[in-house]
Structure 1
Amino acid sequence: MNVKTFSYLALALPLLTTVSTAKADLLASIKSSGVLRCAVYSDVPPFAAPDTKTRQLVGMDIDLCQALSKQMGVKAQLVPTSVEARVPVIATGRADVLIANLAYTKTRSQQIQFSDPYYVAKEMLVVKAANADKPLSFFKGKRISANKGTTSEQSIVLKGGKPVTFQDAASAFLALEQNKVMGFVTNTMTATKMISQAKSSGINLAMVKEPMALEPIGVGMKQGEPALLTAVNSGLKAMDEQGTIDKIWNQWLGPNTDYKMTREEHVQPLSSLTFQPLD
């Protein structure tokens, strides 16, 4: 090898190293650093919110993040985020995974990739108790309230109702109490709490049994990271089989909490679910 050729190779080595590093997959980087950067809500109880005494983030999603990190053999690093920023924080690479009660939608699936869901949330129709035994078809063409710009609003359109939207859930719920609408759509958790609150005020409400829409909840990740997706799915499946997810669920959402919810679905491929994705 002559001196000139050696010089060219020497100059090329840093470039080759840079290219190689750039192509390294995210899972390898996580394993190398020993840290899983996990985006969670900054203040959305019971998923993630500051403890009133310690000010440390606690909640269902915090415990899920810690358990998933342990399953993957690394430590968790929490990245607090807002509802509005939870998808961008993954798309821009500021966090490795997103565990923030993230529902699968068509739009989000184009921005990030989803793990196998670990539970299926439901958009439920809350009505006056006398109408609770009616089928959803009864409410077609009827005025139904929801938060503006939410999947709850989308589900009303999906089922043929007339959406009446508000900026917050309390106002949308009040419209039902004041008979300005025939129903109010929200997730099961919110519906359960609001029905209980209304009862204490002498107003009898109930949920229609059939869901307005199904929303698979999973872990969000950057697109184009198949190794990480496989690792997260494997970790969730193991946590499910070990009873870890059920234990976390029961602590934060279960029958002995204010939400009184039972986890009915287990970790399974998204393709195995029968549902109509919302936009």
Structure 2
Amino acid sequence: MTVKKSALALLALPLYFACSAANADLLADMTTRGELKCAVYSDVPPFSSPDAKTRQLAGMDVDLCQALAQQMGLKLTLVPTSVEARIAVIATGRADVLIANLAYTKTRGNQIQFSDPYYVAKEMLLVKKENADKTLADFKGKRISATKGTTPEQSIVLKGGKPVTFQDAASAFLALEQNKAVGFVTNTMTGIKMISQAKKDGIELAMIKEPMALEPIGVGMKRDEPALLAKVNGSLKAMDDNGTIDKIWDTWIGPNTEYKMVREERVQPLSNLKFEPLE
């Protein structure tokens, strides 16, 4: 009888450990480790790229990782990643959180969990200056360029335009300059830089005021980790209230930088935003 009970107990062990793993609490694990593993880009300025002098990663997302770790009372370990691998680095558990200018989309929302957004990126339509006073409705059915397979391409379809796509942003932008397209779609930050660069080349461009699409930017985490989600959301709200996020923003992409970006939205639940998620 004792032998049978022992055998049954041994048979139950794999199921026990499987259940324990399934119910693991990532936040508790992080607290035990005393560490926040935060994934950032390996070389995408101004978000995260090697500093020319120190060769250490520096940028807006690096500073956000540092501030989040401090707010959570944890030691920071940066995990460099690429644009292509940034979702996988969370899904495979190589990092606890991902701060890499990550926009919420339907597909990504099914793959990983998003925090409350700390800002809202906008896909904007760049046009020749003579078209600056037009509205998005004026560009329905018109040829608009974008990089192939990107959210800007999706936004053109969303707004009723005719996408003309290229393998890289430079080629798509050139299509506008050469009148092969009446507009070019990119995010606000990149658009401001491109308008400034075109002006130096003697080409006057402008940005239509109404966004093509809104893209809430948040912290990425593994799905089904409610304790971690609540902790990250609470930490972001505290960083917003005490001015930490504003300070980091102004340092890297604010009004006095080459990007001239003004932070308009505060940390808030994704459900509070009125937007149509891209795929």
TM over 0.5: yes
Q: 1:17 to 1:175 in 2, by over 3 A?
A: closer
TM-score using structure 2 length: 0.95
Match of 1:165 in 2: 165
Deviation for aligned residue 1:77: 0.8
Letter in 1 for 2:191: A
Runs of 4+ aligned structure 1 residues displaced above 6 Å come to none
Match of 1:71 in 2: 71
Whole-angstrom distance in 2 between the partners of 1:14 and 1:106: 38
**SS of match in other structure, 1:54:** coil
How many pairs are equivalent?
A: 278
Letter in 2 for 1:172: A
TM-score using structure 1 length: 0.95
Whole-angstrom distance in 2 between the partners of 1:27 and 1:109: 20
Whole-angstrom distance in 1 between the partners of 2:235 and 2:11: 40
**1:45-93 CA distance string (max 9 Å, x none):** 0000000111100000000001001111101111111001101111111
Deviation for aligned residue 1:213: 0.4
Whole-angstrom distance in 2 between the partners of 1:122 and 1:42: 24
Question: Is 2:240 the partner of 1:273?
Answer: no
Whole-angstrom distance in 1 between the partners of 2:8 and 2:149: 57
**SS of match in other structure, 1:80:** strand
Identity of aligned residues (%): 74
Question: Is 2:199 the partner of 1:199?
Answer: yes
Match of 1:58 in 2: 58
RMSD of aligned residue pairs (Cα, Å)? 1.7
Question: Is 2:254 the partner of 1:254?
Answer: yes
Deviation for aligned residue 1:24: 2.2
Matches within 5 A, 1:95-114: 95-114=95-114
Whole-angstrom distance in 1 between the partners of 2:8 and 2:34: 33
**SS of match in other structure, 1:160:** coil
Deviation for aligned residue 1:22: 5.1
Match of 1:128 in 2: 128
Match of 2:213 in 1: 213
Letter in 1 for 2:60: M
Q: 1:9 to 1:118 in 2, by over 3 A?
A: same
Letter in 2 for 1:240: D
Deviation for aligned residue 1:7: 5.2
Match of 1:36 in 2: 36
**1:125-181 CA distance string (max 9 Å, x none):** 000011011010000011000010000000000000000011111111111111111
Deviation for aligned residue 1:12: 7.9
Whole-angstrom distance in 1 between the partners of 2:5 and 2:164: 73
**1:230-256 CA distance string (max 9 Å, x none):** 000000000000100000000000001
**SS of match in other structure, 2:87:** helix
Deviation for aligned residue 1:4: 5.0
Whole-angstrom distance in 1 between the partners of 2:45 and 2:58: 8
